[in-house]
Amino acid sequence: MALILALETSSAICSVALYQNQELLALTELQLEKSHSSHTTVIISQILENCSLTLQDLSAVAVSGGPGSYTGLRIGSAIAKGLCYSLDIPLIEVSTLYALAYSLIQVIPNPEYYLYCPMLDARRMEVYCCLLNSDLQELLPVSPVILTNKSFEDFISQNPVIFLGSGASKFQKLIENSPRTLFHANVSLSAKPIGVLAYNKYKNHQFEDVAYYEPFYLKEVYITASNKS
């Protein structure tokens, strides 16, 4: 039996789930800005207590690995690494974009009919995205993309594509309505698919190096110096 704690902190949503194998035992989500640092560890304690479990019962910790908010990813990573190091249990990374696509794949009819382009808003006309099939096989790698009305046209001309996530509405405004494009901008990030996908990695011993693991920020973070004297 694998007891996996799953964390999703790559956006404004602070989401924590607890899984026994692939059975969801508990889920708590907060949609409060800048809540990750003050609430995540409290939520973890409450979930374990409500399930009559302790940290020592955990088999692994899974974390949303990015791309996403630099601060959110850093906080989630730090919490996950701290737990794994202190408890001597594996750390599992799950792609934020893969988990987002998986959320939709599980609930739509005939998912194999579509390709999936999960998109995270990266400000202005840029998004972080990738292109996947229903088996989460990568057709275009995770990358930053500046959207135009020509983006993804080679794929759209051959396959129905679903665009989903916080960046999808920006692309929807750029292209004409097409029977080959669908948009699901309201699909939210959650620890639920993180836990499910992490179990597959757990079975295959696909673990991260706790000492050297860093989230996939995708872009370098530039920190400006304060103007205060």
pTM for the full predicted model = 0.92
Statement: residue 121 has pLDDT above 60: yes
pLDDT digits (tens, 9 = 90+) for 47-95: 999 999 999 999 999 999 999 999 999 999 999 999 999 999 999 999 9
Cβ pair 98, 132 in contact under 8 A: yes
Residue 70 CA to residue 52 CA, distance in Å, equals 33
pLDDT digits (tens, 9 = 90+) for 172-181: 999 877 788 9
Rg (CA), the chain: 18
Residue 24 backbone dihedrals phi, psi, to 5 degrees: -75, 120
DSSP string, 106-175: TTSSSGGG-EEEEEEE-STTEEEEEEE-TT--EEEEEEEEE--TTTTHHHHTTS-EEEESTTHHHHHTTS
The order of strands in the sheet holding 161-164 is 138-146, 126-132, 115-121, 161-164, 181-184
Residue 4's closest CA among 61, 52, 55?
A: 61
CA angle 193, 107, 103 (to 5 degrees): 25
Cβ-based neighbour number of residue 46 at 10 Å: 14
Does the domain at residues 97-184 carry the CATH identifier 3.30.420.200?
yes
Residue 51 CA to residue 199 CA, distance in Å, equals 19
Residue 85 CA to residue 129 CA, distance in Å, equals 31
Fold of 3-95+189-203: Nucleotidyltransferase; domain 5 (3.30.420)
Q: What is the pLDDT of residue 221?
A: 52
Statement: residue 224 has pLDDT above 80: no
Instruction: List 144's β-bridge partners, or say none.
Output: 128
Instruction: List 181's β-bridge partners, or say none.
Output: 161
The pLDDT-based confidence of 223 (bands split at 50, 70, 90) is very low
Cβ pair 182, 114 in contact under 8 A: yes
% of the chain beyond a pLDDT of 70 = 93
Domain layout of the chain by residue ranges: 3-95+189-203, 97-184
Residues 221/184/116/170 CA torsion (nearest 10 deg) = -50
Residue 137 backbone dihedrals phi, psi, to 5 degrees: -85, 135
Statement: residue 220 has pLDDT above 80: no
